[in-house]
Chain A
Amino acid sequence: MSLNVIWFILFVIIISGYLILDGFDLGVGILHMFAAKTDTERRISLNSIGPIWDGNEVWLVVGGGVLFAAFPVVYAALFSGFYAAMMLVLLFLILRTVAIEFRSKRDQPRWRSLWDFIFALSSALLAFLYGVAFGNVISGVPLNQQGYIAINSVLDLLHPFALWMGVTTVALLALHGALYLNLKTTGAIQARVQKWTPLLMGAFAVCAALATVWMFIDQFPSALVYLQGWTLILPLLAALAFAGIFILERRGVEFWAFICSSAFVAFALFTLGAGLFPNLLRSTINPQYNLTIYNAASQENTLTVMLIIALIGMPFVLAYSAGVYYIFRGKVHLSPHSY
């Protein structure tokens, strides 16, 4: 297997890691205003992700760094081409971070509801923007011969399919967050999210089914891949994981239902990755302008050094992340020093 293929797979894994981990953070944010009503409930909601959300967000930063290092031409095209969208992502990431941190600093209802609202809104809009990005990666973008995205305005990226993928992603992360809250809370919050879980599953299933049909009607090349070859196993595994959520949730096996949801997110992204391979960004102008894992990659020396860095660093990351999760496992208990 070539270094380019290895880095493509690692990149997809890192993005999956981000969407699984920060995905439930964002999901908690999307549900925050509805699942938690009183101040105590909202503190529980916030503290369910309190000690870990920052570590989760690091996966995004590392994903960006890996794209920069391994596929600099894609990094340059994607970030400059999606300029306005990227600035909005930054805006909501910043607002979300400070909302989590600032909310608890004053014991005043209006102060707290303001930050609650900003936390919820920025979480939902981030999920939406990520979905729009996936939509554009699937549909392809107007890449020119120089390897840059030639668009007139941000509206070119907000085509109906991309918007629909945005809605789909919000539904998915809300579901993922609901399963997480179910795991971390008791009482009123848990009762609410348990009631909503089947609805969210239904909503997401409808969204995803329509998106799938849409991909085939519009003949996106990334979708047609699945009609041939072994890659069909990835969407099938995703479907299996989704069924797993349904069954385990009904049996009250909270932890494994959440694991199934995480597996679903991973398989959905692996599906997307397999559909793209060996491209990273497809051009809607001319397939010859596609950015692939070969023409857009860094050179062998860099990919080798990066692989060594990853092999040294990632086992530590996984070990101590697991340790921290272990220490903070179980239902949320508030103390005066929580958020």
Chain B
Amino acid sequence: MDPEFLSRAQFALTISFHFIYPPISMGLGLLMVIMGLQYLRTKDPVWRQASFFWVKVYGLVFAMGIATGVVQEFQFGTNWADYSRYVGNVFGSLLAAEGVFAFFLEGGFLGLLLFGGHRLGPRMWLLATFLVVFGAHFSALWIIMANSWMQTPQGYELAQTQWGTQAFMTDFVAIVLTPSFLPRLLHTLVASWMVGASLVLSVSAWYLLKHKHQAFAKKSLALALWVFAVLSVLQLFVFGAQMAITVTNYQPVKLAAMEGLWQSQACAPMYLVGWVNETAQTTTGLSIPCLLSVLAYMNPQAVVQGLTTFPSDTWAPVNLTFQVYHIMIDLGFLFPLIGAIGIFFWWFGRQVYIVRPLLWVFVSTIVLTQVATISGWWTAEIGRQPWIVWNLLRTQDAVSPLLRGDQVLLSLLMFIVLYALLFALFIFLLNQKIQEGPEALTEEHLHASLPDTFREVFRQARASGE
């Protein structure tokens, strides 16, 4: 079989599976930091109970993220060796920086976060939590920087060496701050925070439906609901919209594929659902007139470039890009609606805790946000085909030259089996944690004799080290 196709499939599988976990690490992490702050501020023991509960979930999620993350770094070399040579000067240094700055931070303090609840006072434990969560965000920053360079490359020059063409670094600042970096970073972070909030929302709603852990569930639900509602509005109108404008400006052919727009037109429509016939070059479905022109240029009469203005060998798989994009965008329309209804019922007499259909909708949000983030990444990555580095290197020219199909088939099968097992175990253990619920607080959880300043931490370490 074709090693290129199999390598694409393997990369798609492994990165999509990996991407289930980091958004939770960031989003749930953010909520855990808020919970820790709330405890320090209010001394309400429910917040401490919440920290002890969520840290267990966090450990599980983080382990899955680590286990599946290292695969990505290896695969650039194993399957995409020509890519690695071509961009090593630029892309490699961003990956190395991610390791030095972010992974060490996460990895170093993860132990203190997971085991610190009984060793550290609330303030020091919160500091450890913050450092791990900060590390997770910092890591996202570097990897999105690297991805953005692949989407909108700059700050390099091409050179012919004995190894073929290589991109050499000319301006590090330009490489770091490519035009698509900031919009992509913000769009991804907000999406990740929404995933984290929806996990808390989902589990709290479940407890309320089952009449369990009411005090804990109400506090968590209210926090998560507010975070979710506010972010979903910002995502739709600010960060998502900004990303669309960036794509319009720097990757117009990708935008045309996302909307299945074949001919350039003024007052271009935006579809809610539809189907692209790639042979007939038509797109049919339910659309809102002029909305694409508004989205792209803030002007209903603006002309949006169609696919036919670009050479056909630079088109992404149009229907696939269209479909994954519309899954994301439709969910993006749905989330503010869910948030608004939730806030409405919270505002008027705290009805939100007892309206069962709404609670069921909340339970489903974790699946919906996960689907939305994955679809978003698929849009970004499928939409930029056939390029692995935009307008520089085609994906078909990036694959390791001596790779054989049978090797990749075997490793792909290995990942399919391994990841299926891991996912089943992950869901099983996550469900178990959720069913167990938060433990009742004992005196030990609340007493104040744990070291809570740097001085106390090191003094106690010395005492117990002897």
Instruction: Using CB atoms and an 8 Å cutoff, list the residues of chain A in contact with chain B.
Output: 50-52, 54-58, 60-62, 64-66, 68-73, 75-81, 83-84, 86-87, 89-91, 93-94, 97-98, 100-102, 105-106, 146-150, 295, 298-299, 301-302, 305-306, 309-310, 313-314, 316-317, 320-321, 324, 326-330, 335, 337-338
Contacts and interface: CB of A to CB of B under 8 A. Distances in A.
Given A57-B107, A58-B104, A147 B163 contact: yes
A301 B170 contact: yes
Nearest to A71: B88
Given A58-B103, A299-B169, A320-B108, A65 B92 contact: yes
Interface string B77-95: 1110110110111111101
Given A61-B103, A320-B108, A321-B108, 13 more contacts: A61-B70, A61-B99, A70-B92, A72-B85, A75-B88, A76-B82, A83-B78, A84-B410, A94-B418, A102-B425, A302-B93, A302-B169, A320-B104
Nearest to B111: A51
A313 B101 contact: yes
B112 interface: yes
A284 B197 CA distance: 56
30 contacts: A51-B112, A55-B108, A57-B66, A58-B99, A61-B103, A62-B96, A62-B99, A62-B100, A65-B98, A65-B99, A70-B92, A71-B88, A75-B84, A80-B78, A80-B400, A83-B400, A83-B403, A87-B411, A93-B67, A94-B70, A98-B425, A101-B63, A102-B429, A106-B432, A298-B88, A302-B168, A324-B111, A327-B461, A329-B465, A330-B465
B309 interface: no
Contacts of B89: 69, 72, 298-299, 301-302
Interface string B143-168: 00000000000000001001100101
Given A83-B78, A299-B168, A330-B465, A101 B60 contact: yes
Contacts of A50: 111, 115
Contacts of B179: none
B418 A91 contact: yes
A75 B425 contact: no
Interface in B422-466: 422, 425, 429, 432-433, 457-458, 461, 464-466
B118 interface: yes
A298 B84 CA distance: 11
Nearest to B114: A51
B123 to A, nearest CB: 15
Contact of B402 (A72, A150, A306, A316): A150
A83 B408 CA distance: 9
Nearest to B10: A87
A310 B100 contact: yes
Contacts of A147: 162-163
B23 interface: no
B121 to A, nearest CB: 13
A97 B66 contact: yes
B74 interface: yes
Contacts of B81: 76-77, 79-80, 148
A55 B78 contact: no
Contacts of B334: none
A320 B109 contact: yes
Interface in B117-132: 117-119
Contact of A321 (B84, B96, B104): B104
B448 to A, nearest CB: 18
Contacts of A93: 67, 70
Q: Tell me which of B106, B108, B119, B166 has the highest count of chain A C-beta atoms within 10 A of its own C-beta.
A: B108
Q: Tell me which of A61, A77, A148 has the highest count of chain B C-beta atoms within 10 A of its own C-beta.
A: A61
A93 B422 CA distance: 13
Nearest to B463: A330
Contacts of A64: 73-74, 77, 99
Q: Tell me which of B67, B100, B115, B402 has the highest count of chain A C-beta atoms within 10 A of its own C-beta.
A: B100
B76 interface: yes
B109 A324 contact: yes
